[in-house]
Structure 1
């Protein structure tokens, strides 16, 4: 399993997974106030589909939300589908 990293830049940021020094997956978000983030886009490079990288990033976002007592608004269709399929992540919605 690859490590999911977080980059924060002011009121926005992204989660990403690097494999062999190359960014292979990225999920962007923006803050909506101080206590909510909006996940707006998830992207996985060709050849990495079906490896669970997107779900790993959503899981990391959920962990981040729990640790920082914030809520997630999943506007990205992929992220929304993960929340729909994984009931244990819904406490941060």
Structure 2
């Protein structure tokens, strides 16, 4: 059975310092983070084995990064290999990364 992204609900659980993806009432995956005044450090992303390959990790990554971009107050430090690789496949998110050039345009 293929799961559509519409079935996945992602929320920011600030009490636990993690984004949570749910399918119905079931916790399907999490993206854990730590906050500083200037950074959100993504430390670990995990998808429950029975939900692997269904786009849960991508839904988590996109929601979390969109949330950071919308807030506009922090840069991303992707220590988590999954988040780092996801950003690499979606270059429009590179400007969110701490230390990334603000613009690739030449002056």
* Fold shared per TM-score above 0.5: yes
Task: Give aligned pairs, total.
Answer: 90
Match in the other structure for 1:6: 12
Question: Which ranges in structure 2 are unaligned for 5 or more consecutive residues?
Answer: 98-107
Q: Which residue of 2 aligns with 1:37?
A: 40
- Superposed CA RMSD in Å reads 1.2
Distance 2:83 2:69 in 1: 16
- Bigger share in strand: 1
Larger radius of gyration: 2
Match runs of 1:20-35 below 5 Å: 20-31=24-35, 33-35=36-38
* TM-score normalised by the chain length of structure 2: 0.78
Unaligned runs of 5+ in 1: none
Which 4+ residue blocks in structure 1 deviate beyond 2 angstroms? none
